Amino acid sequence: MDTRSNLLATALTAFVERGYDATTLQTIREQAGISNGSLFHFFRSKEALGAALYLEGILKYQQGLIEVLEKPCEEAALGIKAMVRYHFLWVESNVELSRYLFERGRPDWGPDHIEAIRLANARTYRAIENWLTDPVRAGQLRQQPLAVAVALLQGATLALSRAWLEAPTPGKLVRHTNPLAESLWAAFQLVQETEK
């Protein structure tokens, strides 16, 4: 593992175990087994390290979601199920990173970081909008504002994921895929067409 990746992995473990505020750069440096010079070569502050970790986590998650959205799918219900399943499997496979992303869900690391997150989110929203186009044209889904579609597709998965991450003996998160996908499909059918 290269030095930068080692720093990010070490910081993630420390942030999750101790909390972001209670973790110091010195602790991360010592646990990573690197010098001050190496640390500051990559990250000038804990905030810079934390911001990089957050951004890389979001980008990793969103890239996988976009790949799911770009796969051909003739039935919208199956597409919704694929999105839900991807989300739950990603959280199960990235427990520490998911906890960190939820904890730092309102990043405050400066305008450059906030702009990078905004651009990443905009790319994901465009992918969701593009995915919705064919099912809406085919009459499988009702036309609705993009914000409503995103809220339906992501809101419940995020809420279930947060609850699962906080549970002491959570079992498998992916077991909720079918019930949630079916509920979301029903919700999409019930959303009334509104003026934009």
State the Cα angle at 153 between 122 and 56, rounded to 5°: 45
Confirm if 54 and 20 have CB atoms less than 8 A apart: no
Cβ neighbours of residue 120 closer than 8 Å, sequence gap 6 or more: 55, 58, 59, 62
Rounded Cα distance between 119 and 53, Å, is 16
pLDDT tens for the chain, residues 1 to 196: 899 999 999 999 999 999 999 999 999 999 999 999 989 999 999 999 999 999 999 999 999 999 999 998 889 999 999 999 999 999 999 999 999 999 886 667 788 888 999 999 999 999 999 999 999 888 888 888 999 999 999 999 999 999 999 987 778 999 999 999 999 998 887 654 443 4
Cα end-to-end distance, the chain, whole Å: 49
